[in-house]
Structure 1
Amino acid sequence: MKNILNLIFALFISTTVFSQSNIEKDRKAIKSMSGFYEVSFNYVETFASNNTYEFKPRYESHGSEWVLILEDTPTKIVMQHILVLGKNMVMKHWREDWIYEAPTLLKYEKDNKWIKTKASNDEVKGTWVQKVYQVDDSPRYEGRGTWTHVDGKSRWESETDSPLPRREHSKRNDYNVLKRLNRLYSTETGWMFEQDNQKIIRDNGKDILLVREKGLEEFNKIDEKIFDVAKVWWKEQAPFWKVVRNIWEKIYEQNEVIQFQNTINSKALYDHLFPLAQTSIDNKWGEERINKEVFTIIHTYLKEK
């Protein structure tokens, strides 16, 4: 009996140590995506089931991007992307939160509507949810996957639905859901964000494939000296966007369904928040004033139940 108990205890310790070791490898892989990068964005449509479909021109762009860690706990890592264009133009870009064994995630339906879904214990075990947010910290998509680490390389994959990408949402209305197969993996010079996407027409619960798309976003590390202007800019902007994140966090916690309007009077939410951030800096607003102004603007765009 004593030998059996010792064996059970040894197996428990071994499993616990192995699990902790894996988590640390996962965390290291996620955090390694922070840094200073030259980024290339490349997308091309590849296959359409309807032979009358006219393929759209390939999309190519590039920029310099700083990915910084805002929050780092054993089960949550928050990273903000800051885009630098030219010598002096700086813009808050997308944000990603990584949550270990998150019990829920927001599932995109269509028409800027997300529904909170709960997973089983078996489904969440050992997984990380990547929560991706728009430039104004509104929701974009959330995907669940497991990190693997083989031959010194780290890789994570998930499949999830999202709204149209920013490069197309104001230009197209021939589809309404982007079904993403996302892969993130380390490279010799940084990391790759590879996508195999399906542009879907979703109507009455039925999905029709319009066209498939291949996407490659390559992040190659570069000298951080060119980001000096971005560092100064973010130091001023950070308090404002912390308030924005906190307001959205309460909205995510308190609602099972989130739906908001893309534009009001031809203006998106970020059209208000970006200048408001600078106004708050110029006028030295305190947190209470920022909170009041931001709360009002965000809730104007939300479709309250």
Structure 2
Amino acid sequence: MSVDSRAHDADSPKEASESVVSMAFGWPFLDPTTMETQGGTTQGSKVTLAGEPSEAWEKIRQPDLSKQERDRMAVLAMAGSFRVSFQFIESMGFAEDYKPSRPYFSWATEHVRVLADTPTFVSLQHTLVMYFEDEEMGGPMVMKHWRQDWTYEDRELVVYRGHLVWEKMKLAEEEASGGWSQAVFQVDDSPRYEAFGRWEHEAGFSRWTSNDAWRPLPRREFSVRDDYNVLGGTQAITITPTGWVHFQDNCKLQVDSKTNSPRSVACEIGINRYERILEPTIQKPADAYWAKTGDYWKEVRGAWKDIFRTRDRFQLKNQADGKKLYEEHFGYAAEIEATDSYDKENGRTHAQETVNRFLENL
């Protein structure tokens, strides 16, 4: 879900529109009209930002925490209700006739809930919850979004290799010592990518920086780009007193299907800002959605755990029987939500059979 960049809590539509044009930093000699942002068009409702440091931030700053525990507090600080902005701009290209693509900008309101929390593992589920300025649309619109799992001293990662293939990568004990992996999953709980990095804590922020990792083509470019098929790069997640920032330094790669060798097409910078909000209240609609569908999504996660446990390498089909994987899962979850009825055994069978139906035989 993405909404129009003009819908800001502090800016008028004209002021916000003008700021979008000037946002195209790094290309000062191009016609500004060629660098106007692409992205969402629906106008979300106004938000009230939190002005004071959060309780989660204060927990990170507690004295006498072990390094591992302070790291875990930083991961947990990503939970809550946020206005999220997504910004991407290409910084360079490698073709002779290269012209930068239009920058991307959208925003949404999102609730991040804690699915699991132990000293060595934290799972965070993102849920889009949107209210709209358009009275006919109103809201809230609630939709399951992506998930991130954090594991301390993780020695077995499931990494992306291109062409919808993932495989296990093992780290030596000394490589994993003191670090955390971040595994990111699509809206349908299928894997997206996994990276490894370490947290650092300073007086004004806490930051996790990753190694280089490959990812599938992002959804924001699925329908507009066919000149690259892998997004590779490093990330930094920085916790601030009133939210967090996800910075990406990416390279767009065309990976050969036979040799698996990459060719660089362009590079981009991405900045996603998660700013804590007080209004609108979005946790209650998110909680209501998960109260109805959470048991089914738990079975979907369980089906994927079985795949990770039993397969060192696997490939996903782009579609099966004319449908995408997310369509199958979201359709089943919508039926549960509409009827307010869930059969655990049927849900488990559907989750397992659906996941397995989308696996290629390698």
TM-score, with structure 2 as normaliser: 0.76
Cα deviation 1:232-267 (Å, max 9, x = unaligned): 122111111111111111111111002101223542
The amino acid across from 1:141 in the alignment is Y
Please name the residue that 2:357 is paired with: 300
Q: What secondary structure sits across from 1:146 in the alignment? A: strand
| Structure 2: distance between partners of 1:259 and 1:206 | 18
2:112 partner SS: strand
* Equivalent-residue separation in structure 1 for 2:166 and 2:226 (angstroms): 19
Q: 2:125 aligns with which of 80, 97, 102?
A: 80
1:43-192 equivalent positions in 2, closer than 5 A: 43-86=88-131, 87-158=139-210, 159-192=212-245
Asked if the contact 1:127/1:145 (under 8 Å) is kept, the reply is yes
Q: Work out which of the residue numbers 263, 274, 284 in structure 1 matches 2:330.
A: 274
Cα distance change, pair 25–134 in 1 and its aligned pair in 2 (3 A): same
Separation in 2, partners of 1:166, 1:180: 17
**Residue-pair matches, total:** 288
User: Which has a greater percent of helix?
Assistant: 1
Asked whether the equivalents of residues 114 and 124 of structure 2 are also in contact (C-alpha less than 8 Å), the reply is yes
Answer yes or no: is 1:213 the counterpart of 2:258. Answer: no
The 1:234–1:123 alpha-carbon spacing in structure 2 relative to 1, beyond 3 Å, is: same
Contact 2:215 2:231 in 1 (8 A): yes
What amino acid is the match of 2:121?
K
Deviation sequence 1:133-172 (CA, Å, 0-9, x none)? 0000000000000101112410011121111111112332
Q: Which one-letter code corresponds to 2:223 in the other structure?
A: S
| Residue identity opposite 2:226 in structure 1 | N
Partners of 1:230 and 1:205 in 2: CA distance = 41
Question: Paired residue for 1:238?
Answer: 294
CA contact (8 A) 1:260 1:302 kept: yes
**Residue among 278, 285, 293 paired with 1:229:** 285
Looking at structure 2, the residues matched to 261 and 20 of structure 1 have their Cα atoms a distance apart, in angstroms, of: 45
* Deviation digits for residues 28-53 of structure 1 (CA, Å, limit 9, x no counterpart): 10001101000000111110122312
**Cross-structure match for 2:315:** 259
1:158-204 Cα shifts (integer Å, max 9, x gaps): 12111111111233221111002111001242100000100011221
In the alignment, residue 35 of structure 1 is paired with which amino acid?
A: G
Contact 1:280 1:290 in 2 (8 A): no
Native 8 Å contact 2:293 2:336 kept in 1: no
Contact 2:94 2:266 (8 Å CA) reproduced: yes
Residues 106, 141 of structure 1: 8 Å contact kept: yes
Take 1:239 and 1:270, find their aligned partners in 2: how far apart are those partners? Answer: 17
Q: Secondary structure at the match of 1:222?
A: strand
CA deviation map 1:6-30 (0-9, x unaligned):
xxxxxxxxxxxxx970001100100
Unaligned runs of 5+ in 1: 1-18
**Superposed displacement of residue 225, structure 1:** 4.8
- Aligned with 2:247: secondary structure? strand
TM-score using structure 1 length: 0.90
Instruction: For 2:346, give the aligned amino acid.
Output: R
Contact 2:292/2:336 (8 A) holds in 1:
no
**Partners in 2 of 1:49 and 1:148 — Cα distance?**
34
How far apart are the structure 1 equivalents of 2:280 and 2:271?
26
| Secondary structure in 2 matching 1:56 | coil
Structure 2 stretches lacking a partner, 5+ long = 1-63, 132-138
Aligned residues: CA RMSD:
1.7
Cα separation, 2, equivalents of 1:302 and 1:115: 13
Identity across the alignment (%): 37
Secondary structure of 1:60's partner? strand
- After superposition, the Cα gap between the structure-2 partners of 1:128 and 1:28, relative to the gap in structure 1 and judged at 3 Å, is same
Matched AA of 1:207: P
Pairing 1:33–2:78 present? yes
